[in-house]
Chains A and B, each alone.
Chain A
Amino acid sequence: MAIDKAHILDMLRSFPFISEVIDKGENNQCWTIAIAFPVKEDESLWFDMKLISYVSPMKQRGSSPIKFVNKDLMAYPHIMDDGGLCLHTPDQITWDDRVHAEIEALHEWIEKYYVREEKDAHYDDLVVEHVATKDSMMQFYFTQLDAMPPVGSYGEVLFTNLSKGTSDGYTINNFIVQCVSWGGKKAYGEWSKDYLAMEPRYKGLYVMLSGNPARYNKFAYTQYDELSELCTDDQLSYLYKKLYGGDKYPFVFWGYKTPSGKLRWLVTCPSEDEHIIRGIKTRLNDKIVYVPELQPIEMKCVYADECSYDNYFGRGRFLDEIVNKKILIIGLGALGSAVATTLTRCGARKIVLCDYDQKHPGNVCRSEYLFETGRTKKTNELKQILSAISPFVEVTEDTDMCNFKLHVSAGGKNAESKLNEFDIIFDCSIDSELMWAIDQVKTTAQIVNLSISNKANELVCAFSPNIREFVTRIYTKIIEETDGDMYNPEGCWSPTFKASYNDVQIVVQYAMRYIVRMLSGEMDIANFIIKEQDESLNLIRW
């Protein structure tokens, strides 16, 4: 879409809140127009409006072709370190609409942040200039620790690597920070035990700074010497000895606290060729001492993102009444595995799995398993999958529950205490004998029994107590006989139901929405059936 410069200048002049428009010409295919906004009686705020692309008024990779720059406003919110204003304007098709949207957004910014001097309520992480080598980049993930390293402390950071990523020809080396140690103390990340125990572990160095390592509280420092005022001599001496004492420490973690007291790390990768700290010869009380000093060397920062539980599940999770419960899932077929992954993606912290069965390729199409893992015990694979989804879920296996019905049937004494180990039990096993056995036991655990009919026409959800009676009645009296169109695998197995991943997921997800509401006390607990009727899913409560 061709750009009409004269028309754009006319447009700019027509805005009532723009007092002056000066065409500064073109340079390196960037057309600059200076525009003035009167903000006070005798004061105008000038911005350079830069058209950095003439190709189209549309955004490219999220960036508008129009940019406003004023390097004097760096201390203000949403101004980047090149003086450019970060505006998020709506999508536009024509240049007229684009110019309008950008100018309106700029005007709003001026009113809010410059004239009224408002501040945003939320905390924005520092703007860090990251470096990447020719073909790889580093990414650290960290959580809050179970103890905060004190300001002035120094020590080691243990981290380990996740899988490698790739993007646009780069290799991305992903790491998680597991533990920080100082003066005989250790503080661990929030990660699940599996992640904390992951090998191999690498070591980095850390110092806890006395303030925010940033200009305007926004832009992370870019040279080591800028950190000097935030470090103690002891910290620098420690770093000096460790960095240049023979062992290899490829990363230094510079810790600081946010205004709300949360831990953040600026992670740098000191070059082996240039010493970032030097001992400066100084005379002190008639003695020659070497005082460590950070050098004006560029800080090569790598990516370090806060990945605590609240951040990880910040976009959506189940309520605390669910996620903090110990949840047992019995039967890990299409239903059980879907329940397990749903709970995990919604923030569950303690999941116990029970199934004696192995996964076969035929299971993959409508459950959560993978083909590449081949034949394996369902509990083993699902544990891996759940841990891969969430670094906060503790997944264990319970083999006792596989024999629970036999235990109850034989009059065993410990049935109640066994069930009481859990807060919530999803029984997706469709084992009627187990259903009977669980019904026999008084327990503090809330049992949720899930099953579906052929073609996933109905999902039946029953809550303890008296599950068997309800489920039996529903399947004998309410749910109609199907046409017998079942799936018969080879051999003498019983035929299994026919239903796709989509068929299963849609009823499971719908059911989980209400199960969670019921278990968290938002709704009364009631048995229900989900059934598709007249092209919509209906939940029929009993």
Chain B
Amino acid sequence: MEEINKNEYLDEVLYSHKMCHIEKRTDKYKEIAKDLRDAVMEHYGNKKMYPTFLSGSIAKHTAVNTKFDIDFVIPFRRDSFDTLEAMYEDVHTFLKTLIKDNEKYRAANLKKQTVSIGFTILTEVEGSYEEISIDVVPGRELKQDDYGETRDLNLYFCNPDWGFLAKDSTYQKTNIQKQSDTICGKENERKIIRLLKVWKKANNKDIKSFALELFVIKAMDGYDGAKDLWSMLKHVLQYIAEHATDKSCHLLDPGNSNNDVLEKMDDVKRSYLQREMKNLVEGIERNDWYIKQAFPVNQKFPKVKDSYGMRPGNQVPLPPTNKHFG
């Protein structure tokens, strides 16, 4: 069997998952998000809110083209709503009316999510129809007029019995700006985060991306080993395997130092994470081909090799033969 150059291969994986391959789709996302942001701004106005801003993986440049999200945050002024719940519900009601009254949103749907309101719309992208999802995140500054300075926001938790939060919480302080800044300029970390996202999506793993991101940043902090992709990835995987179940390890949300993302993962999830990371490293060390399974190239956008122009051996997605018949 052909020996795989792991660094070249991982580079190819990253290349094939670049967002620039699907520029028309992301443009569509951004266009729809802009329309929504404009509608929100027009409705609430400067007196109630600060300018909206984009967050999510696209904004943080950690997106992969097989899985990405675009969120936008609505920073409300403190006195706009008495409660965070009222804020969340008001935004939901507004979006609901917007969809109902607007012909262009005829194929749109709303869904209440943990901190955001999921807006999905069936739209045409490059000749075929697909569902585009945008998360709208309403937040309220902590004190009147301090957002300009602190960028701190409180988010409403629509369903507190979810995720890594204390069950009695109904809101959570965050600072999305700080979250985004943490990754700013960290090119190597971004690459590893994107690889882990490829793995998570391709293998359908139930692990929160945010925890992985924080783990990557923590693992790479002070890393002075080899700077090739496989060495860095292996280091991160081993680091997570070692620390996932370590009670003295903390992953603090850059937007809220009181929020320990790791602590809020239960033991089962932590040992699951540990196991998965361990398996990955061992699997790849044992069999070269395992890396192809764990980190598949997005076959839609393969990197054409200089030599023979051969494509890597992953499959073009086809319907499963045991499901469709004639």
Contact = CB atoms under 8 A, between A and B. Distances in A.
Interface stretch (A168-176, A464-472, A509-517): A464-472
Contact of B318 (A336, A436, A482, A542): A436
Nearest to B318: A432
B319 interface: yes
A435 B319 CA distance: 10
Contacts of B324: 430, 451-453, 460, 471, 475
A321 B324 CA distance: 30
Interface stretch (A20-28, A39-47, A295-303, A327-335): A327-335
A466 B318 contact: no
A333 B325 CA distance: 9
Nearest to A479: B323
A331 B325 CA distance: 11
B323 A333 contact: no
A282 interface: no
Nearest to B317: A472
Given A465-B127, A466-B127, A469-B128, A453 B319 contact: no
A476 B319 contact: yes
Interface in A257-282: none
A436 B300 CA distance: 13
A436 B321 CA distance: 14
A468 B325 contact: no
A461 B156 CA distance: 43
A479 B318 CA distance: 14
A450 B326 contact: yes
A453 B323 contact: yes
A386 B228 CA distance: 66
A432 B323 CA distance: 12
A46 B323 CA distance: 74
Contacts of A471: 319, 324
A209 interface: no
Contact of B129 (A432, A433, A542): A542
Q: How large is the interface on B (under 10, 10 to 19, 20 to 34, 35 or more residues)?
A: 10 to 19
B128 A428 contact: no
A476 B326 CA distance: 17
Given A451-B324, A451-B325, A471-B324, A432 B127 contact: no
A287 to B, nearest CB: 79
A465 B124 CA distance: 13
A477 B129 CA distance: 14
Contacts of A469: 128, 317
A454 B324 CA distance: 7
Interface string A508-542: 00000000000000000001000000000000001
Interface string B297-326: 000000000000000000011111111111
Nearest to A466: B128
Given A432-B318, A468-B318, A472-B317, A336 B128 contact: no
B326 A429 contact: yes
Q: How large is the interface on A (under 10, 10 to 19, 20 to 34, 35 or more residues)?
A: 35 or more
Nearest to B129: A542
Contacts of A433: 318
Nearest to B323: A475
A183 B126 CA distance: 63
Contacts of B122: 542
Interface string A422-439: 000000111011011000
Interface string A326-349: 000001011110000000000000
Given A465-B127, A466-B127, A542-B129, A496 B325 contact: yes
B127 A334 contact: no
B314 to A, nearest CB: 14
Contacts of A309: none
A494 B321 CA distance: 9
A495 to B, nearest CB: 8
A146 to B, nearest CB: 39
A501 interface: no
Given A466-B127, A466-B128, A542-B129, A428 B318 contact: no
A497 interface: yes
B326 A430 contact: yes
Of the listed residues B122, B325, B326, the one surrounded by the most CB atoms of chain A closer than 10 A to its CB is B326
A447 B320 CA distance: 21
B321 A476 contact: no
A452 B122 CA distance: 24
Interface string A290-331: 000000000000000000000000000000000000000001
Contacts of A499: 325
Nearest to A333: B326
Contacts of A428: 326
A452 B322 CA distance: 11
Given A331-B326, A453-B323, A476 B317 contact: yes
Contacts of A482: 323
A356 B324 CA distance: 19
Given A468-B318, A475-B319, A475-B320, A430 B128 contact: no
B325 A453 contact: yes
Of the listed residues B122, B316, B317, B324, the one surrounded by the most CB atoms of chain A closer than 10 A to its CB is B324
A3 B316 CA distance: 81
A476 B325 contact: no
A467 B195 CA distance: 30
Nearest to A527: B129
Of the listed residues A334, A335, A430, A482, the one surrounded by the most CB atoms of chain B closer than 10 A to its CB is A430
Nearest to B122: A542
A451 B128 CA distance: 19
Contacts of A542: 122, 129
Given A466-B127, A470-B128, A335 B317 contact: no
Interface of A: 331, 333-336, 428-430, 432-433, 435-436, 450-454, 460, 465-466, 468-472, 474-476, 479, 481-482, 486, 494-497, 499, 527, 542
Interface of B: 122, 127-129, 316-326
29 contacts: A333-B326, A334-B326, A428-B326, A429-B326, A430-B326, A432-B321, A435-B318, A436-B318, A450-B326, A451-B324, A452-B325, A452-B326, A453-B323, A454-B323, A454-B325, A460-B324, A468-B316, A469-B128, A469-B317, A470-B128, A471-B324, A472-B317, A475-B319, A475-B324, A481-B323, A494-B321, A495-B322, A496-B325, A542-B129
The 5 closest A-B pairs by CB, nearest first: A432-B318, A475-B319, A497-B325, A451-B324, A430-B326
